Amino acid sequence: MSDSEEEESPDRQLKLVVLGDGTTGKTSLATRFAQETFGKQYKQTLGLDFFLKRILLPGNLNVTLQVWDVGGQTIGGKMLDKYIYGAQGILLVYDITNGQSFENLEDWYNVVKKVNEGSETQPLVALVGNKIDLEHIRTVKADKHQRFCQENNFSSHFVSAKTGDSVFLCFQRIAADILGIKLNKAELEQSQNVVRAELVKYPEEDHQHHTSNCQSKVCSMQ
């Protein structure tokens, strides 16, 4: 196979459906991912919004993600089943400061299960705790989130649509999981918007005694 043939692998298309209660931040998450913007003003989604974004996965694989942003008020409505139908990935979104939005995911997941009953292929389901910029007023404990994931075999994500923290990473991991692609550590780290650095201060006199191995300490922190 020539180089140019290798480069031009055809796009894969994936349908991802974003579900969860109103005001949990589904539209914000989709717009942060697809348009890299965030609006503070709440505007209720009536029915459905739709976003497209092309990403590149390892192996030069272009993937077009169709993100179906479903309004929180659609639960119980007759269109919801149609929105979910054919999805390869489902994002179950809750607000970490709103316990009810977490409890209600059970109902959203029940609709997903019903739509896919008897189907040979099941969608990958991701549990997404949004608004981690509001960690100080979190009400849904992380272990509750993890338990829900383990019980149902969901992938686990914590994001902030407001700051953008881990949003791209979340969609990238979901797409890679669906396609059975393994992301290496460097690729995962590159997708994380927030850079965490630890500051370590050594006492003055101690520092003088340890100048010879000081360099290795600095290296291990980077």
Contact residues for ligand GTP, defined by CB under 6 A: 22-28, 40, 42, 44-45, 71-72, 130-131, 133-134, 160-162
- Strand 48-57 to 61-70 pairing: antiparallel
Give the pair of three-digit tokens for residue 24: 């949990």
Alpha helices in the chain (DSSP H): 3-7, 26-35, 80-84, 99-103, 105-115, 142-152, 167-179, 185-190, 204-209, 211-221
Return the number of the residue (44 or 60) whose C-beta is nearest ligand GTP. 44
Rounded to whole angstroms, how far apart are CA atoms 50 and 141?
31
C-alpha–C-alpha distance, residues 154 and 26, integer Å: 18
Least distance in angstroms from the C-beta of 106 to ligand GTP: 17
CB nearer ligand GTP, residue 40 or residue 182 = 40
Q: 140 or 161: whose CB is closer to ligand GTP?
A: 161
Closest CA to 91 of 109, 73, 64: 109
CA distances in angstroms from 109 to 17, 18, 93, 128, 142, listed in the order given:
12, 11, 11, 13, 19
We find the least distance from the C-beta atom of residue 24 to ligand GTP, in angstroms, to be 4
CB-wise, 23 or 66, nearer to ligand GTP?
23
Choice between 23 and 191, CB closer to ligand GTP: 23
Give the nearest distance from C-beta 28 to ligand GTP in angstroms.
3
Phi, then psi, of 156 in degrees rounded to 5: -115, 135
CB of 18 to ligand GTP, least distance (A): 8
Minimal distance in Å, beta carbon 52 to ligand GTP?
Answer: 18
